[in-house]
Amino acid sequence: MQRGARWNYSAWVPEDGRNSMTYNKLLAASALAIVAGTSAASADTWRYAFEEAMDEVQGKFAQKFKEEIEANSDHQVQLFPFGTLGESSDIMEQAQSGILQFVDQSPGFTGALIPEAQVFFVPYLLPQDEGELVSFFKNSKAINELFPPLYAEQGLELLTMFPEGEVMMTTTGPVKGPEDLNEVKFRVMTNPLLVESYKSFGATPTPLPWGEVYGALQTGIIQGQENPAFFIESTKMYEVTDHITRLGHNNFTTAVMANLDFYDGLEEDDQNLIDDAIDVAFDYITAYQDGLTEKSLEKIKEAKTSITITTLTEEERAPFMATAQDVEAEFLDIGGDQAQEILDQMKADLNAAAGAEG
């Protein structure tokens, strides 16, 4: 999945269905000029960009983090929602270069930098049970021990990963099995494993920047996309699709990172301050999401009574689940030097989470 700000897309997409890219580039350039113009000596102002709007999950996490930092120190945190500094690739470059101190970005995009992070797109790997899911993200050795050195190689300090909700398909036609996705152009992030996953589902995966998705659906360039319910509701993807399908195949994952040189250069007290604020924000955001999916689906149904929301049965999911082994094998082929170790450890962590909840 992913990603974008909570724009009213029906208002911002021109009549020809294309994004106003010139406007977006000018907006991003102006915002970046403001950021770059901030004095480097003002070390007590930390800049944090993310891939969603302020009132979406990443925005809520960022606000809680900001609240904790500012309540327990003299530091200030400046927040940049999606679109204010460009697309996902732009904010990652800014974080790596030190223009930004913090960035929140899905492994769907960092997979190009860190191939092992694509493991989060192996279908049916993560559990649907919310308690197991939270326990896994909080206690996983793969996340807390194996991934940080891989992020460090890219100039990033991995602070945490957290789930954002069950991923659902929104399509212009109904989906009950892989045959219904035949020749369907389905928007995916620019992630090789996600492309492979949707190929195995029967679709024609079509990588697109998030800013182009609404217009592409509106004009029929693509016929589907995937995201959690809150994001489908807030970005109004239901306006340009007619069916929401719950395959139970994944939960959207995101990662909060700091610029490594920035983090390593801090006094221990400030590092502890950041780590503590991350822990508080993690607990807050997992509690915040309790019931969020169903509330979002209710809002969608109220806004568009004609939309269908279908949860596939175990029998209907079976042919989709059967593709997981092939996608897993593809991950081991393209997922980097530590792909096998990461996958094995994640499975052990998931078993431990299931046992803890059981």
Residue 130 lies in a domain: yes
10 Å Cβ neighbour count for 324?
16
Is the Cβ–Cβ distance between 227 and 252 less than 8 Å?
yes
131-140 burial, b for 16+ CB within 10 Å, e for fewer? ebbbbbbbeb
Is the Cβ–Cβ distance between 75 and 239 less than 8 Å?
no
The DSSP bridge pattern shows strands 243-246 and 102-105 to be: unpaired
Mean pLDDT of all residues in 129-157: 97
Instruction: Name the token pair of 314.
Output: 């175990």
**What does the pLDDT look like over 20-45, one tens digit per residue?**
344 444 445 455 555 554 433 344 89
* Position 76 pLDDT exceeds 50: yes
Amino acid 32: pLDDT: 56
Mean pLDDT of all residues in 143-163: 98
Question: Model confidence at 358, in pLDDT bands (50, 70, 90)?
Answer: low
**What does the pLDDT look like over 293-314, one tens digit per residue?**
999 999 999 999 999 999 999 9
Residue 279 lies in a domain: yes
Residue 209 lies in a domain: yes
Mean pLDDT of all residues in 135-159: 97
Residue 337 lies in a domain: yes
Instruction: Name the token pair of 278.
Output: 């991350």
Question: Model confidence at 357, in pLDDT bands (50, 70, 90)?
Answer: low
Percent over 70 (pLDDT), the chain: 87
* Position 4 pLDDT exceeds 50: no
**What does the pLDDT look like over 262-302, one tens digit per residue?**
999 999 999 999 999 999 999 999 999 999 999 999 999 99
Question: Model confidence at 222, in pLDDT bands (50, 70, 90)?
Answer: very high
Residue 4 lies in a domain: no
Amino acid 108: pLDDT: 77
Q: Show Cβ contacts of residue 319 under 8 Å, excluding neighbours closer than 6 positions.
A: 177, 178
Separation CA 301–CA 25 (nearest Å): 34
R_g of the chain, CA atoms, integer Å? 20
Residue 3 lies in a domain: no
Q: What's the Cα-to-Cα distance from 280 to each of 102, 175, 245, 255, rounded to whole Å?
A: 16, 39, 33, 15
Number of domains present in the structure of the chain: 1
Amino acid 20: pLDDT: 39
**Residue 53 lies in domain:** 9-357
Residue 2 lies in a domain: no
Separation CA 228–CA 166 (nearest Å): 5
Q: What is the mean pLDDT of the chain?
A: 89
Residue 211 lies in a domain: yes
**What does the pLDDT look like over 85-137, one tens digit per residue?**
988 889 999 999 999 999 999 987 787 789 999 999 999 999 999 999 999 99
Instruction: Name the token pair of 78.
Output: 């400046």
Q: How many helices (H) and strands (E) does the chain have?
A: 17, 10
Q: What pTM does this model have?
A: 0.88
Kindly report the CATH number assigned to the domain that includes residue 90. 3.40.190.170
Q: What is the DSSP letter of 134?
A: H
Is the Cβ–Cβ distance between 232 and 296 less than 8 Å?
yes
